[in-house]
Amino acid sequence: MPPKSNPKKLNSLQLKTLCLLQELARHPDTYQTEPDTGRKVLTVFPNPHGNHFHLGAYVVGTADATGLRNEAVWVALERKGMAVNHYPTAIVLTEEGEAYETGMRGTILHGSDH
């Protein structure tokens, strides 16, 4: 469900994808830092096993992650100022993209028990 305030009017798939990208940006093993800007260049994306994958301490259903490898979603996030698209190898979160409140954390990031 989209957050109450969604000034960029991101759709549900874009919000879910941005939420996952923000979480990837919290893990140093999934990004490199641009020397000039300090922005995080996400280059490592999780590989699902079965119907889920692990992202840090969380489990994510693959149904909630279809935008992670979807060029149209990356293009939309770039158009809305959330990221810089280098599909399919990398995506760079802008400062706005890293700080944007998606309202999806509690919905798609589930605590891991293993």
Helix (H, G, I), strand (E, B) or coil at 97: helix
Measured distance CA(21)–CA(53) in Å, rounded: 14
Q: Which residues contact 98 (CB under 8 A, 6 or more apart)?
A: 22, 25, 40
Map out the domains of the chain with their CATH numbers.
12-111 (1.10.10)
Q: Do residues 8 and 94 make contact, with C-beta atoms less than 8 angstroms apart?
A: no
pLDDT given for residue 112 in this prediction = 59
pLDDT in tens, 55-105: 999 999 999 999 999 999 999 999 999 999 999 999 999 999 999 999 999
DSSP state of 83: E
**Helix (H), strand (E), coil (C) string for 31-70:** EEECCCCCCEEECCCCCCECCEEEECCEEEEHHHCHHHHC
Full-prediction pTM beyond 0.85?
yes
